[in-house]
Amino acid sequence: MLSRMIRSPFTALAILALTIGLLWMHFIAPPSLEPYRPWVKLGALLLITLFIILVLIHNRRHPHNKLSLLSWTPYEFKEEDEGMKWITLQACRKVYMFYYFAIPAGALLIAVFHSYSFMPLLMLFVLGGCQYWIYWREIRKYLQQEKG
């Protein structure tokens, strides 16, 4: 359960949302929101601390299957054997195909709506959100088929 939670694409999406939210609050948010800045930063710090604690608990419970806090491999990859690697490959292929079209489209939208300062951040969030959603949907498709 703990492993599923840490390795879920939704956790990755939450981290992306947190990063985008912090950047928005710091650089773009209107001055009227200034008093809330410390609270947002404190909330982000608490969430990051909670994530690190969850990873440490997981590593203590599964000493032979540890998750590294400083790794280039995304947590949602579950490449335990060749079958799981193949599923990851299929999901990554779909994500690549998405970016193939979404990056030019996103660049165009940013250019068209350049007067809105939040547009690049919003676009990053939308692209990232779609990436995690496509990845999750593809993994789920194969694992649900396998159960059936």
Partner 1 sequence: MLENKVRELRARYKLSQSDLADLVGITRQTVGLIEKGDYAPSVTLALKLAKAFQTSVEEVFWLSDQQEGGKGKHA
Residue numbers of the site for partner 1 (CB under 8 A)?
80-84, 86-87, 142-143, 145-147
Cβ-based nearer residue to partner 1, 73 or 145: 145
CB-nearer residue toward partner 1: 25 or 84: 84
Q: What's the min distance (Å) between Cβ of 134 and partner 1?
A: 18
For partner 1, the closer of residues 60 and 147 by Cβ is: 147
- Residues 135, 9: Cα–Cα separation, whole Å: 8
CB neighbour burial string for 70-92, b if at least 16 within 10 angstroms, e if fewer: eeeeebbbeeeeeeeeebbeebb
The least CB distance from residue 81 to partner 1, in Å, is 4
Supply the minimum distance, in Å, between the C-beta of residue 15 and partner 1.
25
38 vs 81, which CB is nearer to partner 1?
A: 81
What 18-22 contacts at long range (C-beta under 8 Å, 24+ apart), as own/partner pairs, is 18/44, 18/47, 18/48, 20/121, 20/124, 20/125, 20/128
Shortest Cβ 141–partner 1 spacing (Å):
10
Angle in degrees, CA 108, 109, 111, rounded to 5: 65
